[in-house]
Structure 1
Amino acid sequence: MPDSGMPLSLWAQMVRLGFESQVVIGMRMAGMMGLAAHAPNENMRMITEKMDAAQESLQASVRSVTRGDSVDKVMSAALSPYSKRTGANSRRLSKRR
Structure 2
Amino acid sequence: MIHPNNIVAMWSLGFATYKMMAEAQTVIAFGLLGMAGVWSVTPSENVRMITEKTKALRQSATAASKATLQGKSPEKVLARALTPIGSKTAANYKRLSKRGFSKR
TM-score norm. by structure 2 comes to 0.85
Percent of aligned positions with the same letter in both sequences?
A: 39
Aligned to 1:66: 69
Return the letter of the residue paired with 1:73.
Answer: K
Q: Quick check: 1:89 aligned with 2:103?
A: no
1:25-80 deviation digits (Å, cap 9, x = unpaired): 11111101000101100011011110000110111001111211100110111111
CA distance in 2, matches of 1:54, 1:81: 8
User: Which of 5, 21, 38 is residue 35 of structure 1 equivalent to?
Assistant: 38
CA distance in 1, matches of 2:60, 2:10: 20
Aligned to 1:11: 14
User: Helix, strand or coil for the counterpart of 1:88?
Assistant: helix
Flag structure 2 segments of 5+ consecutive residues without an equivalent. Answer: 1-6
Equivalences, count: 94
Return the letter of the residue paired with 2:19.
Answer: R
TM-score norm. by structure 1 comes to 0.91
RMSD: 1.4
Return the letter of the residue paired with 2:10.
Answer: P
**Rg larger for:** 2
User: Which of 44, 50, 54 is residue 53 of structure 2 equivalent to?
Assistant: 50
Flag structure 1 segments of 5+ consecutive residues without an equivalent. Answer: none
